[in-house]
């Protein structure tokens, strides 16, 4: 608060129409450090009070009927916190005196202190100080009220802002919901379209691969018939060429079959059940002469446990691994293959260990990729798909496949599958 308004708030407005009373009183008060201002009449004092007042001090002579109306009006218009102290200097103040009624009216709407004249300076000063002190309290209440007002205004401002941002949030949420449902629809539509495209592609590759295999079978069989039925008429060089036609056609036929198997492994649902691996492996060995003496020795060292798998898929995997185990051997060496179980943490590991040529460390990862081959076809025949079929199939059954090997010291291929023991 600036000095000017501080002065005005704390000043005593003095109204004493007769003689030098007013000026004298003002001097007495100023001498006590009290701000005092002399006004010409009660009406002027009322106007002056509008810009701040500590209290009124007037003599009863200045209280005319007209000026009383003015004063009462001013007092009534005060804000709730305000109750301007009034000190009335009266002479002969007692019931019955005309001044008595005026003061009574005044007393109903203000804090009036009546001091009977003549009075001592100390009485006047103490009354004025008491009034100013009460007035200062009122101003403190005013300031607190103002503070409260501004806090309330700030609060309502913030509430409004909060409400606005809540509305925005609701709108944003609605927008997100709309977007989400649109997105879901888009995903549904595209998925349906994608499924359709995949189905078309599958139908296409199914048709094309079966159509391709017909002529390949014809090439194989005609060249075979020529070699078998006309062996005496076919010169050895021509027989070699026929052999090449036969092998080329057979190779391409196998490639197509392997690609079909691989794509089937990648897309067809593989239901898992409890599979007796021991029986499965024994059946495979019994079924193929390539896994039996004198061509190869395949031995199951310990009974193989049951796993959670798909019988057809697991047969494919183990056949492919056994095929490799007996295929990649040194010339003139009988393949010796050991099959044995292992396992930890509810998983069963089936290892297939061979005495073959082994795999260099840098090739041990890539042999599982489709079409990756380490050897030339003239060394070891193959399509480069067998192990990728194993990997894809084992992974689709929730398992893993891997290899440990050293060049020249054989390989151990293993597959890990969930144990079926908890199903029993």
Q: Cβ(281)–Cβ(300) under 8 Å?
A: yes
The closest alpha carbon to 413, from 308, 330, 321, 309, belongs to 321
- State which residue, 80 or 214, has the beta carbon closest to other proteins: 214
Among 214, 235, 294, 361, binds other proteins (CB under 8 A): 214
Q: Cβ(42)–Cβ(15) under 8 Å?
A: yes
- State which residue, 210 or 366, has the beta carbon closest to other proteins: 210
Among 253, 276, 297, 311, binds other proteins (CB under 8 A): 253
The distance of closest approach from Cβ of residue 306 to other proteins in the complex, given in angstroms and rounded to an integer, is 23
Residues 365-404 that bind other proteins (CB under 8 A): none
Rounded CA-CA distance 130/124 in Å is 10
The distance of closest approach from Cβ of residue 177 to other proteins in the complex, given in angstroms and rounded to an integer, is 41
Q: Is 260 in the site for other proteins (CB under 8 A)?
A: yes
Choose the stretch contacting other proteins; rule: CB under 8 A; options: 96-104, 222-230, 363-371, 379-387.
222-230
The token pair at 359 is: 């795999």
The distance of closest approach from Cβ of residue 286 to other proteins in the complex, given in angstroms and rounded to an integer, is 18
- State the first-to-last Cα distance of the chain, in angstroms, to the nearest integer: 91
Residues 303-332 that bind other proteins (CB under 8 A): 312
- The alpha-helical segments, DSSP class H, found in 50-118 are 65-76, 98-109
Rounded CA-CA distance 400/342 in Å is 14
The token pair at 120 is: 């001592």
Among 257, 315, 364, 421, binds other proteins (CB under 8 A): 257
The token pair at 211 is: 């159509």
H or E segment and range at residue 403: strand 400-405
Residue whose pair of structure tokens reads 């044995």 in the numeric block? 340
- State which residue, 85 or 386, has the beta carbon closest to other proteins: 386
Residues 112-171 that bind other proteins (CB under 8 A): none
Q: Cβ(56)–Cβ(15) under 8 Å?
A: yes
Q: Cβ(381)–Cβ(326) under 8 Å?
A: no
Q: Is 287 in the site for other proteins (CB under 8 A)?
A: no
Among 187, 218, 273, 360, binds other proteins (CB under 8 A): 218
Among 2, 76, 94, 228, binds other proteins (CB under 8 A): 228
Q: Is 268 in the site for other proteins (CB under 8 A)?
A: yes
Q: Could you give phi then psi for residue 344, rounded to 5 degrees?
A: -145, 160
Choose the stretch contacting other proteins; rule: CB under 8 A; options: 61-69, 247-255, 287-295, 376-384.
247-255
Output the CA torsion 151→154→156→158 (10° steps).
-130
Among 14, 88, 216, 348, binds other proteins (CB under 8 A): 216
- State which residue, 171 or 201, has the beta carbon closest to other proteins: 201
Q: Which residues bind other proteins (CB under 8 A)?
A: 206-207, 210-211, 213-222, 224-225, 228, 249-250, 253, 257, 260-261, 264, 268, 312
């Amino acid at each position: 608060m600036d000095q000017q308004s501080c002065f005005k708030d704390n000043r005593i407005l003095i109204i004493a129409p007769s003689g030098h009373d007013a000026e004298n009183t003002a001097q007495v008060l100023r001498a006590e450090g009290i701000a005092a201002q002399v006004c010409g009449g009660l009406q002027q004092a009322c106007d002056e009070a509008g810009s701040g007042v500590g209290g009124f001090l007037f003599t009863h002579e200045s209280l005319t009927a007209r000026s009383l109306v003015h004063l009462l009006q001013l007092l009534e218009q005060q804000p709730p916190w305000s109750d301007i102290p009034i000190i009335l200097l009266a002479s002969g103040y007692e019931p019955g005196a005309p001044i008595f009624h005026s003061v009574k009216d005044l007393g109903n709407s203000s804090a009036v202190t009546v001091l009977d004249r003549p009075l001592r300076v100390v009485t006047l000063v103490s009354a004025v100080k008491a009034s100013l002190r009460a007035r200062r309290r009122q101003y403190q209440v005013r300031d607190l009220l103002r503070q409260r007002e501004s806090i309330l205004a700030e609060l309502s401002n913030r509430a409004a802002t909060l409400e606005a941002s809540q509305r925005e949030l609701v709108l944003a949420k609605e927008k997100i919901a709309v977007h989400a449902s649109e997105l879901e629809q888009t995903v549904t539509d595209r998925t349906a379209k994608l499924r359709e495209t995949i189905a078309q592609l599958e139908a296409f590759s199914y048709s094309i691969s079966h159509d391709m295999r017909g002529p390949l079978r014809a090439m194989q069989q005609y060249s075979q018939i020529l070699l078998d039925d006309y062996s005496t008429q076919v010169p050895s060089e021509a027989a070699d060429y026929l052999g090449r036609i036969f092998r080329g056609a057979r190779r391409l036929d196998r490639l197509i079959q392997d690609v079909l198997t691989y794509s089937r492994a990648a897309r067809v649902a593989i239901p898992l059940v409890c599979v007796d691996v021991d029986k499965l492996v024994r059946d495979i060995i019994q079924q193929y002469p390539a896994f039996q003496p004198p061509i190869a020795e395949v031995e199951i060292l310990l009974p193989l446990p049951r796993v959670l798998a798909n019988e057809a898929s697991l047969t494919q995997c183990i056949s492919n691994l056994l095929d490799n185990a007996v295929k990649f051997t040194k010339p003139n060496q009988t393949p010796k293959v050991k099959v044995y179980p292992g396992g930890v943490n509810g998983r069963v590991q089936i290892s297939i260990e061979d005495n073959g040529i082994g795999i260099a460390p840098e090739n041990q990862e890539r042999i599982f990729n489709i079409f990756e081959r380490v050897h030339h076809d003239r060394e070891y025949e193959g399509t480069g798909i067998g192990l990728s079929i194993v990997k894809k199939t084992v992974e689709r059954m929730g398992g893993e496949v891997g290899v440990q090997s050293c060049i020249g010291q054989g390989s151990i291929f293993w597959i890990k599958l969930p144990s079926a023991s908890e199903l029993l």
